[in-house]
Structure 1
Amino acid sequence: MKKITRIALAGALALMSSTVAHAAGEVNIYSYRQPELIKPLLDRFTKETGIATNVLFLDKGLVERIKAEGVNSPADVILTIDIQRLTEAKDGGVVQPVKDNALINKDIPASLRDADGEWFGLTTRGRVVYASKDRVAQSEITYEELADPKWKGKICIRDGQHAYNIALFASMIAHHGADYTQTWLTGLKNNLARKPDGNDRSQAKSIMAGECDISLGNTYYVGLMMTNDKAPEEKEWAKSIKVLFPNVKDRGTHVNVSGMALAKNSPNKANALKLMEFLASVEGQKIYAEQVFEYPVMAGAEPSAIVKSFGTIKPDTIALTEIAKHRKQASELVDKVGFNEGPSK
């Protein structure tokens, strides 16, 4: 169904004529964020403004697509996960600055927006450990500990090259250097129960099934599983795990961002700015917190009661732009140690 949705959305946008792209009351969104995660926000935005939203969801190649479309690109707003994809959009020259916008700047801390106004962080999420409630007694853990042989055969994880994991591995390089991280990745690899597989949610399923005891996952997926009435089996997966925030006694838990940027050749710039203002607003941040289960970036904004139930997060204070510098090296180390081949025999 997701694949059909992506194809349908891609087709709809591909068929847009320049007249439609410039039509009053529309805004075109190119998104790395899954449609179901941004739907509550876009529905509310349309209800309040009357501005229709057209979404093209891409798994990869967003920057390349906009470049290929050139000045005729219908893209107005880019929504994405991960600091690397935000900086890629800037470095790729497919965004334009939004400066002196009081409504956006007042609600997003300066540390979470580009100095040139070319991207803005909207939410944060922790890369945490999902642990079996039945088989894992400890209530504290560190990322470094994941390479300890005591976890041999007990860890599940998704593809090591996935953006979420690469960001974490890059943060390890930022803190400890490449040599340490290579050794650590080798240890983590040898503790895996199987080859990296699935997504964050399926790791919780594997824990419930007894295939592993711990995994890495993003905080917001736990909230989504806990409240998924359409797939109630996910509620059972969530019940089987507890959230452990790594490194609470030292540097803190690795966090990443979701963010937005104004496309370089936005044909509906006024509407695009209205959407960006909405996403940064009190109301937008509240929806992110209550329905998407992410941590809002607005000062004083509270996470949802469900997210609070996981415990208090202590975010790692290292700059995300510093982590982004090490992503290429992190990806190379994943391949160098054969991480995706799974544990050594």
Structure 2
Amino acid sequence: MKGFISLPLFASFCAAVVIHPADTRSLSHLEKREGNQEVKQLDDEPDYEDPVTKAKTPKTRVLIVNQPKEATERWFDWDESCTDQEDRRKITAAFQDSLDFIKSASGFLEELTKGLPQKPGKNANKENIAFISEKDPAFTQMFYAQDNRIGYVKESFDILHKKMQQFEGRHGDASGVRFICDKKGEVKGSDGESYCGTGKDAAQAIANNPNNDQPIEAKYVYKHSSSIVFCPSFFDDMRFPNAFAIAGDSGLEKTLDNVDCRERIMIHEWLHLKFTRDIGPKPDITGFEKAAKIAGKQSPRKADWAAAKVNCDNYAWYALYAYWNNANTACGGDAWPKGVKKPNKP
């Protein structure tokens, strides 16, 4: 049986949330390559023809391995680029623990709703906003403490939790999700340049819906599958460790500037897919401080739901922020860094 860290919710709202500890997610002992790998075609895609050599390659070459169960049950598929077992382990841990973050975020919001002084209505209620501002700093910063938006945000997490864990019934014929491992930056865009980009503006990962809404080279264009390309920076343990490594580091202050992780990226990318929230590629602002800033606008500031609603990182950072608020001081903590000014004071 896997061990886990169990934590209560913030304030008076208490329920169990989990992040798997390092002993069940250790990477150092793994071999670089997994044995007994084979490649199959699962989605009956037409062949890709190289425009220069005219060589034909099946688009849907999926790497079949004996783990994890999420892949064998086709919650996602491994692209043949994912032959490195350690890379797959990092992705698998991020997938599994992102589900824990998602579930806990939904639980936080359910309990927050139960505690509101007034029943949420069509418009934001001042009494409820004051309550949220006191009790849930995460929702205050990421969604401007708007009580009338709790339901939509919670529903978003519930949709993710359901759709990430099934193959059938996601969205018509677009039920597959291909994980593409681009650790070396070799995947190309339709323009022939690096798909992930380079330098400070390089992507961490990129979600692509069927038929290529985020133009990628032709051999990765699928009719029946979505895809998530994990870019070189995703595999950088110094920039984006797995959550278990952060949880297991007793010397690390668990503030938002120290807890960015692969799970945040995973949540962000799944929200782009059409069978979840179908959030478009713009504005796609990343980072906890920037996400909080777009939740409000003008001077004096007021809520900007139109921007926060369509920015994946607001949801992803809410999930992390709410979790670490709770983890810091059991009930009523705040993981916002002390030296960083909060942009939102409803």
Instruction: Pick the TM interval, shorter chain.
Output: under 0.3
What's the TM-score, normalizing by structure 1? 0.25
RCO higher in structure (CA 8 A, sep ≥6): 1
Relative to total residues, which structure has the larger helix share, 1 or 2? 1
